[in-house]
Amino acid sequence: MRPLFSIRSDIVRHFSSAIRPFFNSAEKLFREIMKPHLTFEECASLYANTNTKSMSLATLMITLCSKHKRSEVERRKYIDELKNIIHHFDEGSATIRTIDIAISTLVHEEGYDEVVTLVRKLGNSSLASLKSFRLDQILKVLSSYPNDFELDIAKHIFSVLLERKQVSLYAYNYYAQCLFKYNFEEGMTLLHEMNAQKIKIFDNLFISSLTFSLKKNKQKESRMICSMIEHSKTTNKVLLTTMVNFYNKCEDYDKAIEITRNVSSDGLDTTSYNCLIQSYIGKSDLNRAIEMLAEMQQQNISPDSATFTIILTACADSKNYEQGLKVL
């Protein structure tokens, strides 16, 4: 087991560049942590009595909580403190190192609202000073925020990464998701570029692009995306189900059936079978649809209310009441 002093030394080295520029209270806490016999309670007391709370001190306390294996309740207290500090943050009151650590902590804690708040307050020069992998993390967060303001930030970050020639696989995918949420055409352009350059497209990006394409009733683009998905040989159930739903809506039932039947039986679930049943009903093949219900049960996949609704509605529409009663 490593000596406590060694652990503290690591913490101090990690945060020293962020803490040193701050006020006397921060300097005092910095010096106190270096004392070999200081307990966590003493650190917490010093923090509580510090006149000026800062991002660096809050992130330091969060790290100390982890190092000292403190309770989640105690740790959350300092996370909430960090979030509160960020909402009152002014650019220039913290070093780039401090901002970098704060973003890392917030992303880890899924404090995405605070990441966006912090990023909004940073100027382009401050953003451009952050490390590339931190910019990747910010793009990931921004991909959940469809507003045009966040899109402008995402565009700036992506341009910085392009200029550095450090656009990662993640940056491409997260940025494309940002585009699809607000500018479908630009999203499609980037998706085609990624496909042409053989840049791996994540399932989440495929889901986003296909979902937005369907919402905008872009059948041509939807078919292009589906073609890319098929070539990716994904096994993502949500993605495959979305594709099958698309082909069902286009009344291309054979294609929908082909996609579903190419999936191994252990890769199918209730939703997948419901889509497959809908495909056979679309082809006016009620008998085959009912066979799929039996196949589900053989595979120990439980039908749900939607399964029976689809089949019984088809039986009623075709006036095939006898088969409907058998299903019941």
pLDDT band, residue 71 (cuts 50/70/90): confident
Count of Cβ atoms closer than 10 Å to residue 309 Cβ: 11
Using pLDDT thresholds of 50, 70 and 90, give the confidence band for residue 165. very high
151-158 mean pLDDT: 90
Tokens of 213: 């394409």
From CA 192, how far away is CA 187, in angstroms rounded? 9
Least confident of 12-21, 206-215, 248-257: 12-21
pLDDT band at 111 (very low <50, low <70, confident <90, very high): confident
What is the reported pTM? 0.76
8 Å CB contact between 255 and 247: yes
Q: Using one digit for the tens of pLDDT, what is the confidence trace for 267-278?
A: 788 888 899 899
Stronger pLDDT, 251 or 24, i.e. the higher one: 251
* Residue range 205-241, pLDDT digits in tens: 999 999 999 989 999 999 999 999 988 888 888 888 8
Nearest to 82 by CA among 118, 50, 29: 118
pLDDT value for 5: 46
Residues 6+ apart with CB under 8 A from 311: 277, 281, 286, 289, 290, 293, 324, 327
User: What number is the average pLDDT over the span 281-292?
Assistant: 90
Rounded to whole angstroms, the Cα distance separating 213 from 205 reads 12
| Per-residue model confidence (pLDDT) at position 226 | 92
Residue 173 reports pLDDT greater than 90: yes
